[in-house]
Amino acid sequence: MIDEQRVPAAAEETAQQPRPRRFGRKRMLAVAGAAGAALALGGLTACETDEPKRDTGSAQDEPADESEDGDEDTDDDASGSEEGKGEEKPVDSRELSAGDTAVWESGLKVTVSEPEAYTPGEWAMGHTEGNDAYTFTLVIANETEEDVDADMLLIRGRAGEEGVAAEEIWDSENKIGLDMLGTTVRPGKKATSTIAFGVPAGAGFIDLEIEPLFYWDAKPAFWRIDF
């Protein structure tokens, strides 16, 4: 038979007793969480971002100019040529030109062509009356080991010295801006598309920024394209 007088006392004694297991478990979880966060931060810090570069495979090298001056002047000529290139390059050395190909360490390659002026269709979206419209040929070359979702290629543009936002044009009548939707580029394959942007009249040039969103560590590539 239960001693009713003893029950409150027992309950009070139990409440006063320490609970090492529960406290210990919470502390272990807290320590484990802190350690996991530290490892994650350390891993993120250690990882390098994938900065795109100009694909020199399609560029014209100039070995003849260096060899004509003789072996003794090779170093001087090389340094001189590098200095010359440095002066000719824009302020941002990452900036590409029309026809250049950006290549990421993953193996992804993107090429943007020279611009071509065009007249948007009657039902084109993104075109403002009075703006100039230009098309560009975009080529995606998948030299990675995985499928590439073309929809996840973010393309932005800014026009002229003031960097006014350029409007991307979607023109079904001329099959512009829509042919990449739902496209998967398999390893070893290419996909070619036509994109268009509208810019204020007389802008002179457009800065295009293309970023592959399917790689979390990939940085965007930049083109300056003169009209």
Number of domains in the chain: 2
Beta bridge partners, 212, equal 153
Specify if 114 maps to a domain.
Answer: yes
Residues 82 and 182 in one domain: no
CA-CA distance, 186 to 174, in Å (whole number)? 26
Residues 125 and 187 in one domain: yes
Please give the share of the chain, as a percent, with pLDDT higher than 70: 64
The alpha carbon dihedral of 34, 35, 39, 40 has a sign of negative
Q: Residue 151 corresponds to which tokens in the numbers above?
A: 């929809």
Mean pLDDT of 76-80: 46
Specify if 27 maps to a domain.
Answer: no
Cβ atoms of 85 and 120 within 8 Å: the answer is: no
Cβ atoms of 141 and 109 within 8 Å: the answer is: yes
Residues 113 and 217 in one domain: yes
Q: Which residue would you say has higher pLDDT here, 73 or 106?
A: 106
Residues 107 and 78 in one domain: no
Burial class (CB in 10 A: 0-12, 13-18, 19+), 59: exposed
Cα 172 to Cα 122, 129, 196, 199, 217: the distances in Å are: 10, 18, 12, 19, 33
| Predicted pLDDT of residue 56 | 86
Residues 144 and 207 in one domain: yes
| Predicted pLDDT of residue 38 | 35
> 88, 105, 129: which is the final residue of a domain?
88
CA dihedral 75, 77, 81, 82 (to 10 degrees): 20
Specify if 126 maps to a domain.
Answer: yes
Residues 79 and 184 in one domain: no
CA-CA distance, 176 to 180, in Å (whole number)? 9
Beta bridge partners, 53, equal 103
Cα 132 to Cα 39, 168, 211: the distances in Å are: 51, 12, 24
pLDDT tens digits for 7-65? 445 445 444 444 433 333 333 333 344 334 333 434 443 457 888 999 987 544 444 44
Residues 107 and 215 in one domain: yes
Residues 83 and 100 in one domain: no
Domain ranges, residue 71: 58-88
Mean pLDDT of 194-223: 94
| Predicted pLDDT of residue 222 | 97
Specify if 39 maps to a domain.
Answer: no
Residue 119, by phi and psi: left (phi above 0), alpha (psi -120 to 50) or beta? beta
Residues 116 and 212 in one domain: yes
Residues 63 and 114 in one domain: no
Identity of the highest mean pLDDT range in 1-5, 22-26, 50-54, 78-82: 50-54
CA-CA distance, 110 to 104, in Å (whole number)? 9
CA-CA distance, 13 to 182, in Å (whole number)? 68
Specify if 71 maps to a domain.
Answer: yes
Residues 73 and 151 in one domain: no
Specify if 84 maps to a domain.
Answer: yes
- Closest by Cα among 217, 214, 212 to 44: 217
Specify if 83 maps to a domain.
Answer: yes
Residues 129 and 67 in one domain: no
Residue with tokens 């090492």: 20
Specify if 1 maps to a domain.
Answer: no
Residue 174, domain CATH: 2.60.40.1240
| Predicted pLDDT of residue 167 | 95
